[in-house]
């Protein structure tokens, strides 16, 4: 028989901030001070920032986990986007696309539209 004890969190806010973006330490290029989006590409992720982008070996689900607490959300099974990086949301042939400030486009999956609407993102056609 196993017994589990609850313990008080031992991490400081500074350590939590460092752990939240573990993948940033793996970047080879300077993508800037702000992560705008993360996309899955096979076993890699592409990280988009305010100064550029980079591709690294990292699981998309881990990157999304690391970005919790930031004002962004998944908009597709393969794309996470920061709300402040959005330039506009386009309605194209019955679907939606998010356009970032750097004009990169990301599709919005039907199952994530409700999440975006509940977060009060402008999804009007």
CATH no. for residue 92? 2.40.50.1020
Does any domain span residue 5? no
Q: What pLDDT is recorded for position 121? A: 62
| pLDDT tens digits, one per residue of 46-84 | 999 999 999 999 999 999 999 988 888 899 999 999 999
- What dihedral angle (degrees, nearest 10) is formed by the CA atoms of 40, 114, 91, 49? -40
Residue 42 falls inside a structural domain: yes
* CB proximity list for 83: less than 8 A, separation 6 or greater: 71, 72, 73, 119, 121
> Tokens representing 104?
């990169």
Is residue 50, in this structure, part of any structural domain at all? yes
**Is 64 a domain residue?**
yes
In a domain, 4, yes or no: no
Report the run of H or E that residue 55 belongs to, with start and end. strand 53-57
C-alpha 15/C-alpha 93 separation (Å) is: 45
Q: What is this structure's pTM?
A: 0.77
- Total domains in the chain come to 1
pLDDT at 100 over 90: yes
Q: What is the span of the domain harbouring residue 110?
A: 15-24+33-118
Q: What does the block give as tokens for 90?
A: 């386009």
């Amino acid at each position: 028989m196993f017994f589990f004890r609850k313990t008080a969190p031992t991490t400081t806010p500074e350590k939590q901030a460092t752990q939240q973006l573990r993948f940033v330490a793996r970047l080879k290029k300077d993508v800037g001070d702000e992560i705008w989006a993360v996309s899955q590409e096979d076993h890699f992720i592409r990280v988009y920032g305010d100064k550029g982008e980079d591709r690294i070996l990292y699981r998309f689900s881990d990157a999304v986990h690391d970005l919790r607490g930031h004002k962004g959300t998944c908009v597709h099974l393969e794309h996470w986007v920061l709300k402040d990086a959005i330039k506009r949301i386009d309605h194209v042939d019955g679907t939606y696309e998010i356009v970032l400030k750097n004009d990169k486009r990301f599709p919005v999956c039907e199952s994530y539209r409700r999440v975006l609407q509940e977060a009060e993102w402008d999804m009007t056609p």
